[in-house]
Amino acid sequence: MKDYIIHFALTFPEFRIAELQELASFYGFAVDLSGHDEKSPFLVVSLENDQQACQLVARSVMSYGIYELWGSGKTYEELHAGVKEKSSDKFDKYKNASFKFDFKTFQGKQSNRNKVKTIESFGYLEFDGKIDLQNPEEVFVVMEEYIKGGSKTPAHIWFARELQLSERSSGVIEKYDLKKRNYIGTTSFEAELSLVTCNLAQVAPGKIVYDPFTGTGSFLVAAANFGGLVMGSDIDVRMLNGKGADSNVKSNFKQYGTKENFLDVMTMDFTHNTLRSDFEIDTIVCDPPYGVREGLRVLGAKNEEKAAGRENDIFNGEIAYLRREFIPPKKPYQLASLLEDLLQFASERLPIGGRLTFWMPTANDNFEEHIIPQHERLELLHCLEQLFNMWSRRLLVYVKRDATYQGMTSNGLKEKNIKDFRIRYFQKFSTNGK
């Protein structure tokens, strides 16, 4: 086993470990991440080889990169002693390579003068290669962690060789930034968490990815970035059509050069799904409608008795529902029921090992673990929280198991009969929902 150090981004620290666990699982190996501290951007891990290290981080969104660890210490004296003891056998391997030094500092800083002195203190490495600040063959990194508001000297120092930078370091978040996207709407999901969601769902090249609540296509765009073959549906044709041929869901794939990954989108009520029953979907990734910006609705008559017998109403000599401009009636629907439908659909359509990943809103004052919906064929792997003021949204990740899996089917959200999330949202959660 070899030691490596991962450099994390500071955003959404609670999502880091889950992402790495799923990436390791995707590539078929295990990694001990128990040393992780959400307050620190650095994590030392042990892996079998450099290939595993590169696979672990290459498509990560929550980390910047992974580095071959050469030594560590609480002082520079300890660091240098550790490097000489642990990694002296590596010095000659990079003796003639072009190189540069870089610094990763957390909660502190070094002046340029001190950086030069620090670099000079590594003279015992005896590198003879050219110093190349633009395109070096090797990058050596000094990582320093300070105590916030404490000493002006670092509390811990690591020295490492850059091994693999991540998707994040390649600028993927800036690339998919909503501010730069051709077509967005009020419900478009932010780029960073869309990409993380797809990593947790183990989206892979050539796999069919379905979003039953497509909207403006945020999750489909993110899935296409990882090679998924994407398709979606939405009850609102206006969201899919956008403002025309140059500003709709499909145009986003043209913008990002992923047209070949776009299968199609359909105007469809998910609760009246028309996909063939034998059409297998590898991954389902979505953000079900919360009913915040507008009430949650599905196809159907609000007053079924009043609507009975009107299927064949005639308008200007045509059956009304066959006219091009016909707008089908919609009725209110509860989020709890929608999530129950979603889990059932996933249990029928996903292959063994397929993932269902979606976001669920909860009021902070009445969240209980049993509220999370469960299905006997779906194992809940992760429940990750993005906290707002009075409410949260939780990312739920399920995997479909075979018939030997002894799970349970439950819907605490429905059983508890909490007040409609939309009502409580606009009341600023002033009522307890019980």
Architecture of domain 172-304+331-427: 3-Layer(aba) Sandwich (3.40)
Label residue 124 by pLDDT band (50, 70, 90): very high
Give the count of alpha carbons within 13 A of 15, CB side only: 26
List the chain domain ranges: 2-170, 172-304+331-427, 305-330
Asked if the model's pLDDT at residue 28 lies above 80, the reply is: yes
**DSSP code for 179:** G
Structure confidence at residue 326 as a pLDDT band (50, 70, 90): low
Q: Given this model, what pLDDT does residue 212 score?
A: 96
Residue 322 has pLDDT above 70, yes or no: no
Give the largest Cα separation in the chain, rounded: 92
**Which residues sit opposite 209 in a β-bridge?**
230, 283
Rounded distance, CA 408 to CA 378, Å? 9
pLDDT in tens, 256-306: 999 999 999 999 999 989 999 899 899 999 999 876 655 577 767 665 555
User: Which pLDDT tens digit goes with each residue over 71-120?
Assistant: 999 999 999 999 999 999 999 999 999 999 999 999 998 899 999 999 99
On whether the 2-170 domain is CATH 3.20.20.140, my answer is no
Instruction: Give pLDDT tens digits for 35-62.
Output: 999 999 999 999 999 999 999 999 999 9
Determine how β-strand 2-8 pairs with β-strand 378-387. Answer: unpaired
Nearest to 327 by CA among 301, 303, 355: 301
Q: Are 46 and 5 in contact (CB under 8 A)?
A: no
Alpha carbons within 13 angstroms on the beta-carbon side of residue 357 total 30
The pLDDT of residue 355 is: 98
Average pLDDT on 383-397 reads 92
Does the pLDDT of residue 187 top 60, yes or no?
Answer: yes
Read off the pLDDT of residues 203-238 as tens digits, 9 standing for 90 and up: 999 999 999 999 999 999 999 999 999 999 999 888
Looking at the predicted structure, is the pLDDT value of residue 247 above 80?
yes
> 187 or 424, which is more confident?
187
Tokens of 337: 């029921």
pLDDT of residue 195: 98
Global pTM value: 0.90
**Helix-strand-coil split of the chain, %, nearest 5:** 30, 25, 45
Helix H or strand E encompassing 66: strand 63-73
- Decide which of 370 and 328 is more confident: 370
Those residues whose C-beta lies under 8 Å from the C-beta of residue 136, and which sit 6 or more positions away, are 97, 98, 99, 100
Q: Is the pLDDT of residue 161 over 90?
A: yes
Question: Strand 391-400 relative to strand 378-387: parallel, antiparallel, unpaired?
Answer: antiparallel
